[in-house]
Chains A and B, each alone.
Chain A
Amino acid sequence: MNCAEALKWVPAYADGEIDRLRGYLVKRHLAGCADCAAEHDRILALRAQLRAEVPYYGAPPALRARVRETLGVSAGSTKPRPAGARDRWSWLAGGALAGCAATILAWTLGTAVLDWQKNEDIGNEAVALHVRATLANHPIEVASSDQHTVKPWLSARLDYSPPVPDFAKDGFTLLGARLDYLDRTAVATLVYRYRQHTIDVFVRPETKRPAPPALRNVRGFNVAHASGAGMDWLAVSDVSPDVLSEFVQRLARGGASGTDKPQ
């Protein structure tokens, strides 16, 4: 591969958007060509600078509230409409809604019972927990960036003591933890922030059951799994898949190397 060809592929290589063979050829060229390697470094440096200095604008709370409010209104309950004949039937609509809800509940329960042995269900369940926590706006029951506050809080409430690794220096800020009910057991959920993304990490003692896939996508969320330090680690976030799987693997390794062994 010559420089002209390599330079054409360097951006795709830096973005992780290149097929294996071409990636190998670019890599080999970069090892021997200072100019092309410098171009590659410039793209990575620009990315690092962009992510460090360019603000990510989250939706303002007022906008979020307004959107929720709009949803409530269009649900029909508070929509202004002429009083009269139609109102007499509103109880029926209410009943129908309750019926729907009951059907959905029964269906959900039924499906859950049928599928509980399928390990990919854990991923769906974890995403549901993540979404519910995000919607409810209280994803954290013990809010602390100090692992020595979070760990005892969890140990006091579970029959195991999950490691609480701290990777703040790498941009993963510990926000706190909460308890969740996943795969029919109470689990510790560690909540981290990476840039503007919230990452939920479900931690439980390692089981003999087959492990869920290392990485998958559920409704736009990435779900990454790793085992280590006697624990199963399942991370859910809308952060990019490579960041998430690397993070979950580091969590699994980090617990092993540190002093946070399960007691």
Chain B
Amino acid sequence: MSDNARFAQLVLPHLDAGYNLARWLTRDAHDADDVVQDACVRALKYLDALRGGDGRAWFLTIVRRAFYDWIERNRPAEIVADDGSAIDAAVDTAALTPEQAAIRSAESQLLADAVAELPLPFREVLILRELEELSYKEIARIADIPIGTVMSRLARARGLLQRSPLVRAAGGRTAGEGS
């Protein structure tokens, strides 16, 4: 089978998954387009590296790498150094004041906005887990981090969403009443 036919069979069915990830990481439709196209070129080039295995996880790994190369070139300021303090700082700036949240609450996509506001390391594990429904092991492989880190980032992402004024403004269904 030619490379193109293999690509069509193994990768094309996962184009939606790749685009969804790129769209959530870049937070922009055009940029997501660029990232996915770049990822397709790479996937075709490195098709030999995929022997059997899971086409979706493999393609998502490539999309993610293409994204990080893209953001380094285009928006380097968004990359947060991956240590605790830097992430805490990012969380602080990402958090909205109740006033800002009140203004935003006039718009409808509150939870989607809150997800988009999550710092990158949390956003990517959350999207892979809750929208792509991938296992911890698959996420660890895609994001190139230990499973323990997947778990802690997922917990932080959920905690941030549950505490987010954006989600609270939506009616506090997930923010919890006390406890």
Chain A interface residues toward B at CB < 8 A: 11-12, 15, 17, 35, 38-39, 42-43, 45-47, 49-51, 53-60, 63-64, 66-68, 70-72, 74-75, 100, 104, 131, 134-135, 196, 217, 219-221, 238-240, 243
Contacts and interface: CB of A to CB of B under 8 A. Distances in A.
Given A17-B136, A220-B55, A57 B32 contact: yes
B9 interface: yes
Given A71-B4, A217-B54, A59 B16 contact: yes
Interface string B107-133: 001111001000000000010011101
B152 to A, nearest CB: 10
A72 B18 CA distance: 20
Interface string B3-23: 010011110111111111001
Interface stretch (B69-77, B78-86, B155-163): B155-163
A239 to B, nearest CB: 7
A16 B16 CA distance: 25
Contacts of A15: 129, 136, 154
A67 B151 contact: no
Nearest to B24: A57
B162 to A, nearest CB: 6
Q: State the majority secondary structure of interface residues on B.
A: helix
A196 B133 CA distance: 12
A207 B170 CA distance: 52
B57 interface: yes
B20 A35 contact: no
A45 B170 CA distance: 13
Q: State the majority secondary structure of interface residues on A.
A: helix
A134 B16 CA distance: 12
B56 interface: yes
B13 A238 contact: yes
B29 interface: yes
Contacts of A50: 111, 115, 126, 130-131, 161
B142 interface: no
A51 B53 CA distance: 27
6 contacts: A11-B155, A17-B136, A45-B174, A49-B174, A57-B24, A238-B17
B88 interface: no
Contacts of A17: 135-136
B133 A239 contact: yes
B53 A220 contact: yes
B173 to A, nearest CB: 6
A54 B112 contact: yes
A196 B20 CA distance: 10
Given A42-B162, A74-B44, A220-B56, A135 B13 contact: yes
B125 to A, nearest CB: 11
A72 B32 CA distance: 22
B161 A46 contact: yes
Given A53-B111, A57-B24, 9 more contacts: A43-B158, A56-B131, A63-B15, A134-B12, A135-B13, A220-B10, A220-B55, A220-B56, A238-B13
B25 to A, nearest CB: 11
B111 A219 contact: no
Interface in B27-61: 29, 32-33, 36-37, 40-41, 44, 52-57
A61 to B, nearest CB: 11
Contact of A59 (B9, B36, B57, B109): B36
Contacts of B130: 47, 50-51, 54
Nearest to B7: A71
Given A42-B176, A49-B173, A54-B115, A59 B53 contact: no
A64 B15 contact: yes
B142 to A, nearest CB: 13
